Structure 1
Amino acid sequence: MLRSLEIRDMLLIDRLDLTFGPGLNVLTGETGAGKSILLDCLGFVLGWRGRADLVRQGASQGEVTAVFDLPADHPARAVLDEAGLSIDDDELILRRVNGGDGRKTGFVNDRRASGEVLRRLSELLIELHGQHDDRGLLNPRGHRALLDAFGAQDLGPVRAAWAARREAMRELEAAEAALTAAREEEDFLRHAVKELDDLNPVVGEEQDLDIRRRAMQAAERIRKDVAQALHLLGPEAAEGAMLDATRWLETSADAADGRLDEPIAALSRALIELGEAHRGVEDALSAMDFDPRALEAAEERLFALRALARKHDVLADDLPGLAGQFRDRLDRIDAGDARIGDLRAAARRAEETYHAAADKLSHERHQAAIQLDRAVSAELAPLKMDRAVFETRLSPADPGPEGKDSVAFTVATNPGAPAGPLDKIASGGELSRFLLALKVCLARGNDALVMIFDEIDRGVGGATADAVGRRLKRLAQDSQVLVVTHSPQVAAQGDRHFRVAKSVADGMTTSTVTALPDGARIEEIARMLSGDRITDAATEAARALLSG
């Protein structure tokens, strides 16, 4: 609910403090008194794009403050949360300043806020209706949502089916793309797997081969020298010479008075060491024995492993794992057709589920459209438009998360006349009544929005104006309604009455707004009935209107 509106130095208003209440709030006044200025100022604080020259002449800046009651479950709180402007209490204060240089600054509960945030809040706080209502009922883009709200449609199943259908199609498209890409390398994969299978690499094999190859290459280089050394250590060389020397010394030992005992003992020890050296060299030489073909085979295997690793840009030890990866990719290709078939079947099922849910929703929308047409027709008769035909038209639209229907509200003002969009077919007064009838049917129970009707009763009078007023009164039972009106029948239905007047003092024109007590209401409605000269008859008629 809009609780209050404060205006400072805006247009023709120097200072104005208004307090609104629930129910029907009416604003009246002579033409040009400044009723539209109030809407301009309210639109300014809500971030609406409008006229630029808003600051009152002679003032340095203008300012508008609007205070709303905001229940804990009001949808505007989501906008506040997203903008980092959450509030803890139930009071929402919007303030906007217009500098003399044209710069505009907005605040939400005294925290800076952009014009875009104010506009998003306004969509959830205020609904403006008039003869140029292109934001609401006259905008065909919103008709489907209005019909769904009227019919209390549950869009959950269709949205869920659409999401499942989209996911199924995404998986199918991804699988088809992957299979196409995989098939482009199928020949390469099959050749690579055969090549790897033929070589059959083993983890750690490269290191083992390299060690063996190096050992065989080293043995080939030193074996001749080791063999020559072994020969020199053997019986025909060092060992034989040392044995001969020992025998000669032992033969002469008795005659040497013991002087040869130590040399003979040393030779004995040397022969033992020489024997160990001989056996060691002999074992080493034996170990160096290899088949030259084994070296050739080891080198060929090592070179093949390294060449294949370079080809695939991996380490030799990664070749066995790479073979497994290639086999997996081939398996996916081989199984791809079957998986594609499964995914296509799943996509078909998702498509069928979506269309079943969308068709059910379409049927429910058709039923709701019939009910809405009847409800609007029932409202049009008291508004002296019983010959007009209102029709909610459904036509096919591109499938989407909210079904596959396009909805448009159309009207034929006379029997046999072609039907068309509301704003193209109906005249000003007719359009106002159509909008009111529609709003009465569509807005029941919607107490989150403050509804403003800007001279929606223009062009009607008498019993028709009374019917308009009574419907506004009924609409205000569930919501706060503000109506700018020239109709005394409408004004008489108000729960609160404000009079807008314009005065000139010291060459300065100023608009004022006054809340009227009961006595002043009689006078204002009498003026609306009779003009500047209020007659007794007009006063009595005003009393009669107010008494209902």
Structure 2
Amino acid sequence: MLREISIRDFAIIEQVNITFDNGFHVLTGETGAGKSILFDALSLVTGGRGSTDFIRHHAKKAMVEALFELREGHPARTVLSELGLEAEDDHLLIRREISISGKSTCRINGQMVTLAMLKQVGTHLVEIHGQHEHQKLLQVEEHIKWLDAFGGSRLKRRLQAYRRIYQEYRDIVKQLERIDADEKEVSRRIDMLTFQRDEIAAARLETGEDEMLEQEHGRLAHAERLMQNAADSYEALYGENRGAESINRAVRDLEEIVPYDESLSGVLELIQSAYYQVEEAARQLGRYRDGLEFDPTRLAQVEERLRLVDDLKRKYGETVDEILAYGRSVEEELEKLEHRDERKAELEEKRDQLITQLTEQAEELRTLRRTAAAELERLVELQLSDLNMKGTRFSVAFHPAGTLDFTPHGIDQVEFLISPNPGEPLRPLVKIASGGELSRIMLAMQSIFSKVEGAADTLIFDEVDTGVSGRAAQAIAEKIARLARNCQVLCVTHLPQVACMADVHFQIFKETVGESTRTRVKLLTEAGRTMELARMLGGVEVTDTTKNHALEMLRLAEQTKKAI
């Protein structure tokens, strides 16, 4: 869970350092003080979208650093291991910076990682719920994802097996669609490929031929100079009174005196070796010189061949090897196009086999989903009853998408239905739920999903109590407090009924120094909580009546939390 967060030059936050405990934390303050900005920063450090708009005015970069404590078996540990990272002493330090140039850097325990890697880890660290998440409840296509997440590991494994077959099925469908494309286009394609195949085949290219031709062209084009220089070199080595003869004379002179001074024997051996090497070099130069001839006919043939190769390179590849590889790919495509009827029959047979497998997998998925749906319905109704929505009916409806209408999720279309009042029929959640009802339904769902395997240890609620008051607000407060017994909860709220139930209370406020405005965070004492609750109850002016009311709320909240 989250232990510390440090924020610098982020939006209107100049510098803030906050330490978190276990349990239920609330953040309160005047509208516009920057409460939600803290959660924006936390979203950023766990892989959320970055923007230079986050950088404080006149600053060069924004920085957010968060320290998490990972329990044994935490799902983030598995992800870290897969990425080649580790938690140090059960702690994870994440740092994210955004520079004014737009560059974003991410580090986990000091090691640079990509944003994609950070997202993989961050998904398992915190879950942030706000008005955006409320909107997900209003998106019917999201409902099946909620149900599948609730279905647990067995449903997850079945869905993975289905998707492997589904991907193969989609690949074959795409191949069939290409085969069934406009016959005129296919004919044009065959004509073009046939021309390319024949042009490459007619050239009779050989692997590495272009390099050999370049070398031969170099010899033929400079034959006269090669012959002249080779002859001059040969003469220098083997001509009269030249290299070899001079060295040989030195050998003879030393041979006469070595018997009188053995120390010269080493020098003699070196010169003898040099003589043999020069002699051999001269012989090779002689053979090379004698083998050279100027052949203008062959030069013309090589130049013509090079022009042909260059023309093919412009069309099919940068080297002869690439041209030949392209030619093979053309042959393969032509083979498929010219025998597309046989290929089509094979693909159709494979498609039909996959449809049978997909249907079986999809039916098993539906069975598992219906079982999960029945349990989800029961639990949501229990949770809603706790949230002052007693008598509300919640249902997961299955609308078949059709036997052959396969989707990445199967053949089911799932939609959440609700009847807020006894006697009313079930109707789509997206059409009848009010803002306050959505807040409570979301909290009910989260209370259930917090116990699902792989859920994050830190839950964040950004004004999820919007649109509620009175008994409903009290019910939400008690539900969040109960939820906080099993995980860490951070909540931005404007409701004193919610704030009084917190274990830890932070006040967020703006401070203006000169022409600069910045957000500050203060951990409230009991006296500070009383004043803040009184402000929330009575507005700007705090009276003895509102203070006494705040004290009474805190006293009753403590009793309620002990009962929980």
Q: Same fold (TM over 0.5)?
A: yes
Task: Give the structure 2 partner of residue 539 of structure 1.
Answer: 550
> Percent identity over the alignment?
38
When the two structures are aligned, how many residues end up with a matched partner?
A: 387
Task: Give the structure 2 partner of residue 205 of structure 1.
Answer: none
Q: Verify: 1:372 aligned to 2:376, yes or no.
A: yes
Where 1:393 maps in the other structure, the secondary structure is strand
Task: Give the structure 2 partner of residue 245 of structure 1.
Answer: none
Distance (whole Å) between structure 2 residues aligned to residue 539 and residue 501 of structure 1: 20
Deviation, 1:134, is: 6.6
Distance change in 2, residues 1:457/1:412 (3 Å): same
Conservation of the 8 A alpha-carbon contact between 1:127 and 1:451: yes
Q: Verify: 1:58 aligned to 2:58, yes or no.
A: yes
Where 1:439 maps in the other structure, the secondary structure is helix
Deviation, 1:512, is: 0.9
Task: Give the structure 2 partner of residue 496 of structure 1.
Answer: 504
Conservation of the 8 A alpha-carbon contact between 1:498 and 1:515: yes
Larger Cα Rg: Structure 1 or Structure 2? 1
Task: Give the structure 2 partner of residue 518 of structure 1.
Answer: 526
What letter is aligned with 1:513?
Answer: V
* Higher mean C-alpha deviation, range 436-445 or range 353-362: 353-362
Distance (whole Å) between structure 1 residues aligned to residue 158 and residue 463 of structure 2: 41
What letter is aligned with 2:549?
Answer: A
Q: Verify: 1:466 aligned to 2:454, yes or no.
A: no
Distance (whole Å) between structure 1 residues aligned to residue 399 and residue 532 of structure 2: 49
Structure 1, residues 222-278: CA drift from partner, whole Å, max 9, x if none?
xxxxxxxxxxxxxxxxxxxxxxxxxxxxxxxxxxxxxxxxxxxxxxxxxxxxxxxxx
Distance (whole Å) between structure 1 residues aligned to residue 159 and residue 42 of structure 2: 39
Deviation, 1:19, is: 0.9
Task: Give the structure 2 partner of residue 435 of structure 1.
Answer: 442
Distance change in 2, residues 1:403/1:103 (3 Å): closer
Conservation of the 8 A alpha-carbon contact between 2:25 and 2:504: yes
Where 1:73 maps in the other structure, the secondary structure is coil
Distance (whole Å) between structure 1 residues aligned to residue 128 and residue 377 of structure 2: 23
Q: Verify: 1:448 aligned to 2:462, yes or no.
A: no
Conservation of the 8 A alpha-carbon contact between 2:450 and 2:456: no
What letter is aligned with 2:398?
Answer: L
What letter is aligned with 1:381?
Answer: S
Query: Counterparts of 1:323-402 in structure 2 under 5 Å?
Result: 355-356=359-360, 358-386=362-390, 388-397=392-401, 398-399=405-406
Distance (whole Å) between structure 2 residues aligned to residue 168 and residue 413 of structure 1: 42
Distance (whole Å) between structure 2 residues aligned to residue 380 and residue 170 of structure 1: 44
Task: Give the structure 2 partner of residue 296 of structure 1.
Answer: none
Distance (whole Å) between structure 2 residues aligned to residue 161 and residue 130 of structure 1: 33
Task: Give the structure 1 partner of residue 104 of structure 2.
Answer: 104
Where 2:123 maps in the other structure, the secondary structure is helix
Distance (whole Å) between structure 2 residues aligned to residue 30 and residue 138 of structure 1: 29
Distance change in 2, residues 1:348/1:491 (3 Å): same
Distance change in 2, residues 1:507/1:394 (3 Å): same
Deviation, 1:163, is: 5.7
Distance (whole Å) between structure 2 residues aligned to residue 500 and residue 134 of structure 1: 24
Distance change in 2, residues 1:37/1:350 (3 Å): closer
Deviation, 1:62, is: 2.2
Task: Give the structure 2 partner of residue 309 of structure 1.
Answer: none
* Higher mean C-alpha deviation, range 12-21 or range 53-62: 53-62
Task: Give the structure 1 partner of residue 19 of structure 2.
Answer: 19
Distance change in 2, residues 1:89/1:41 (3 Å): same
- TM-score normalised by length of structure 1: 0.61
Query: Counterparts of 1:395-434 in structure 2 under 5 Å?
Result: 395-397=399-401, 398-399=405-406, 403-413=410-420, 416=424, 419-422=427-430, 425-434=432-441
Q: Verify: 1:30 aligned to 2:34, yes or no.
A: no
Conservation of the 8 A alpha-carbon contact between 1:150 and 1:368: yes
What letter is aligned with 1:535?
Answer: D
* Higher mean C-alpha deviation, range 53-62 or range 460-469: 53-62
Where 2:105 maps in the other structure, the secondary structure is strand
- TM-score normalised by length of structure 2: 0.59
Distance change in 2, residues 1:348/1:41 (3 Å): closer
Which consecutive unaligned segments of at least 5 residues does structure 2 have?
A: 176-341
Deviation, 1:368, is: 2.6
Task: Give the structure 2 partner of residue 293 of structure 1.
Answer: none
Distance (whole Å) between structure 1 residues aligned to residue 73 and residue 41 of structure 2: 27
Conservation of the 8 A alpha-carbon contact between 2:510 and 2:517: yes
Structure 1, residues 17-68: CA drift from partner, whole Å, max 9, x if none?
1111222111111111110111122222223226532222233322110111
What letter is aligned with 1:23?
Answer: G
What letter is aligned with 1:497?
Answer: H
Conservation of the 8 A alpha-carbon contact between 2:61 and 2:99: yes
Q: Please, what is the CA RMSD of the aligned residues?
A: 4.0
Structure 1, residues 286-331: CA drift from partner, whole Å, max 9, x if none?
xxxxxxxxxxxxxxxxxxxxxxxxxxxxxxxxxxxxxxxxxxxxxx
What letter is aligned with 2:537?
Answer: L
Deviation, 1:407, is: 2.3
Distance change in 2, residues 1:160/1:15 (3 Å): closer
Conservation of the 8 A alpha-carbon contact between 2:96 and 2:106: yes
* Higher mean C-alpha deviation, range 448-457 or range 130-139: 130-139
Task: Give the structure 1 partner of residue 120 of structure 2.
Answer: 120
Distance (whole Å) between structure 1 residues aligned to residue 169 and residue 451 of structure 2: 40
Where 2:54 maps in the other structure, the secondary structure is coil
Structure 1, residues 52-106: CA drift from partner, whole Å, max 9, x if none?
3222223332211011123453333444345444445421111112223343222
Distance change in 2, residues 1:47/1:371 (3 Å): closer
Distance change in 2, residues 1:475/1:141 (3 Å): farther
Distance (whole Å) between structure 2 residues aligned to residue 426 and residue 109 of structure 1: 44
